[in-house]
């Protein structure tokens, strides 16, 4: 799929078919995350592919009871390593979260290219998700997304972006 | 350009031609950032397009003396609003940085689709960059990138990703 079509038609999908994702498709989506850039190429990320029905259900209360996330055949959880490296001087140990966010953006876009829906879940209980998935100390959850074919089919990717105009978010030479 | 070709051939470019970027090309690249997703669609980002030669030169010492960043005709600076909303429970006011990182990833990829080089600059002095560009309190610099045509031309986008194998960064159901 054309790059700009992917960017323009990515949508947050909140209703999924139970249909499984073919292994080669899932692999391409994960590989798009794998080759993302990171500070000093440290790649401080891990991706947990949650397929087990019971584990998916356990994640619901840890994600503010957004129960539709478990409709998808897969929930992908991006984890970020805490780093000693102090990126930008104010992120502290959380600079790995920026890297994981870059990689997860690749994954979200690749999913769209494959006709798969996603919804970036940023509202979750870090400690609860860590406990459910056995995420060790020194790592945090950066984001989650359900991954699956949208109930609506291709209609889920209608172009309806509601965003500020470019003039409001771009300036030249000064803030 | 095909989506996966963009993902596969994006590279960190550290040498640029001084050639200007046509306005319509720059606009498409910025627009890719504009339509990125963000928590509750808050769009807590601003992009400063630095073209002024003196301002570009001032940014060099604020970016650990990476002087090649000023070779490019443009330096794009992504700013993130500090938010009260506590995303994920541990990012605190920095959750806007995650959103700006998503949008900046769109911009970096769109640049590749246009044949433009970028290099994600994560090592910078937040306070110094803010002072140079007049970034107000309540905002932080999330990242910078030079933006321009690579000195090497299309050779700059050779496929040479040096990354961990998928098996090392992906697990099923548990960390």
Q: pLDDT tens digits for A72-100?
A: 999 999 999 998 765 556 888 888 999 99
H helical segments located in chain A: 3-9, 23-34, 53-62, 95-113, 126-133, 166-169
Q: What is the CATH number of domain A3-149?
A: 3.40.109.10
Residues of chain A short of pLDDT 70, as ranges, are 85-89, 160
B9-151: CATH topology: NADH Oxidase (3.40.109)
Task: Note the pTM of the prediction, 2 decimals.
Answer: 0.97
Question: What distance in Å separates the CA atoms of residue B56 and residue B16, rounded to the nearest whole number?
Answer: 14
Asked if A133 lies within 8 A of B28 by C-beta distance, the reply is no
| Contact flag A139-B175 (C-beta cutoff 8 Å) | yes
What pLDDT score does A83 carry?
87
CA distance B24 to B26: 6
A36 contacts on B by Cβ (under 8 Å): 105
Contacts of A84 (CB under 8 A, 6+ apart): A93
H or E element, residue B60: helix B53-62
Distance (Å, whole) CA A28 – CA A110: 8
Distance of residue B52 Cα from the nearest chain A Cα, in angstroms: 6
pLDDT one-digit tens code per residue, B36-73: 999 989 999 999 999 999 999 999 999 999 999 999 99
Residue B47: partners with Cβ closer than 8 Å, 6 or more residues away: A169, A170, A171, B30, B33, B76, B77, B78, B79, B103, B107
State whether B48 and A173 contact (CB < 8 Å). yes
What pLDDT, on the 0 to 100 scale, is given for residue A90?
82
| Mutation choice for A interface testing from B48, B100, B101, B120 by most A CBs within 10 A | B101
Residues in Cβ contact with A54 at an 8 Å cutoff, skipping those fewer than 6 apart: none
Question: Looking at residue A87, what is its pLDDT?
Answer: 57
pLDDT in tens, B71-87: 999 999 999 999 876 55
Here the ipTM equals 0.96
Secondary structure of residue B171 in the 3-state scheme: strand
Reported as a pLDDT band with limits 50, 70 and 90, residue B93 is confident
Decide: helix, strand or coil at residue A159.
coil
């Amino acid at each position: 799929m054309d790059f700009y079509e992917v960017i323009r038609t990515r949508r947050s999908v909140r209703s999924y078919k139970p249909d499984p994702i073919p292994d080669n498709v899932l692999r391409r989506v994960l590989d798009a995350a794998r080759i993302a850039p990171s500070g000093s190429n440290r790649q401080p990320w891990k991706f947990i592919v949650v397929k087990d029905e019971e584990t998916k259900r356990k994640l619901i209360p840890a994600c503010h009871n957004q129960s539709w996330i478990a409709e998808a055949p897969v929930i992908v959880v991006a984890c970020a390593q805490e780093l000693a490296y102090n990126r930008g001087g104010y992120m502290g140990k959380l600079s790995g979260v920026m890297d994981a966010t870059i990689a997860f953006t690749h994954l979200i876009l690749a999913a769209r290219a494959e006709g798969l829906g996603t919804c970036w879940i940023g509202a979750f209980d870090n400690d609860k998700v860590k406990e459910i998935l056995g995420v060790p100390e020194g790592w945090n959850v950066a984001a989650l997304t359900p991954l699956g074919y949208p109930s609506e089919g291709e209609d889920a990717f209608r172009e309806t972006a509601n965003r500020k105009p470019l003039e409001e978010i771009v300036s030249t030479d000064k803030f």
